[in-house]
Chains A and B, each alone.
Chain A
């Protein structure tokens, strides 16, 4: 008798548990979990209040590259059968950091780095934060330093803007 009672209580608790997983019981909530899928946050400025000015480069997300955006760096190493892609990428990163620091606060937009054969061309849009003679000096200094560092001719082509060109407000 006792054994059968125990069995029956066990049976009812099991049934109740089964009920709670299969149907939503009143007051019976269960945790539902799945694999983690994070949102992509790379190079994206999320939509905000609408008071933040962003440039074209910032407003378009990386998946728009080759659709609505071009490439910031051009060289032949990413073609089929060509070598040196990693070296060029590391050079690009170094150049971007160097110029971001040298012309701190003066850059209006991302750098564009082009390689024409041996020649390394850095195109930059600058704001008018400094007097021109300082800009001339910094450009010459960067060119000299980088050409000694990378053993290739380096040219900087900069254009001045009064203010950052705003594409939209996010």
Chain B
């Protein structure tokens, strides 16, 4: 056919003039570097046009030479990271794979890679071959520092850095990189790592309310009231400081703490203690008149009474379980000599 013969002739003449661009492909992936196209015009058209007067661009159109795509000249052991150094869309003339993509026509095959929009639509990872990732790691190594050798376990990390601060950074596609959710800061600290006595601990737990988790003994402070991350972090640290110092102070009105305000059951001065003492006093044989105070001390010092005290405290604090009830039963039986 006329077109085919033409293209062969043209290639012989101009094949040597072909110039290659640098290792990275230009933004415009023409079949060739400079002003050359593969022939879109038929030879017959060219012949006709010679007779007509030359107008505008048509007279200046020279024979365009067809050049093979870059894939023909790729060796098997080439450096692929030079072909796809960064994320780029699929270029059929740069990828030497015979990929086909698309739903085939009836009794046909999926469309070829040339001019295939589906291959361009999908994100490809041609720039992330294992070799490329190795090169990235090598390039990042000078900026990295070693993990301190002393911190080799989680326990040590917690011991030296008890306060943990979490913040999230958001990446999205769009002209703006601001995300309002990035200002939220979460600060977690274990109360066992803070220097608190009994009163301070109870007060801190009471002040923090819902932010304290009893099972894991962690206090979690989440701040999002300020517009910037740094401000929220400062505010969270300030809250922690204030809580700590306030819990160490004892206000005047704290003396009025009643039995109903107690966090957990305390057996001393409870109705249970009074009852058991009365019962035991009544159980003593008649005729022994001793001092009340001494009797009390002696009674309280007895092992059975201590056991009874433990079982009642457990029942009240932890609730009714099989073991607790059993313990209470045993303690009562021992006390009353049943």
Contacts and interface: CB of A to CB of B under 8 A. Distances in A.
A144 interface: no
Interface stretch (B115-123, B212-220, B280-288): B115-123
Interface in B126-184: 171-177, 179
A116 B173 contact: yes
B253 interface: no
A120 B121 CA distance: 14
Interface residues of B, number: 38
Given A56-B111, A159-B92, A116 B172 contact: no
A128 B88 contact: no
A139 B117 contact: no
Main secondary structure of the interface of A (DSSP, over half): mixed
Main secondary structure of the interface of B (DSSP, over half): loop
Interface in A150-167: 150-152, 155-165, 167
A115 B92 contact: no
B118 A70 contact: yes
Contacts, number: 117
Nearest to A110: B117
Interface string B260-293: 0000000000000000000000000000000000
A18 B29 CA distance: 76
Interface string B26-57: 01111100110110100000000000000001
Interface stretch (A24-32, A34-42, A71-79, A98-106): A71-79
Contacts of A168: 105
Interface in A60-113: 60, 64, 68-72, 74-77, 82-84, 87-88, 108-110, 112
29 contacts: A56-B116, A56-B117, A56-B118, A64-B103, A68-B103, A70-B118, A72-B121, A74-B121, A74-B123, A84-B172, A84-B174, A87-B174, A108-B115, A116-B87, A116-B173, A121-B89, A125-B120, A132-B28, A135-B28, A151-B175, A156-B27, A157-B29, A157-B89, A157-B91, A159-B29, A160-B29, A160-B30, A160-B31, A162-B40
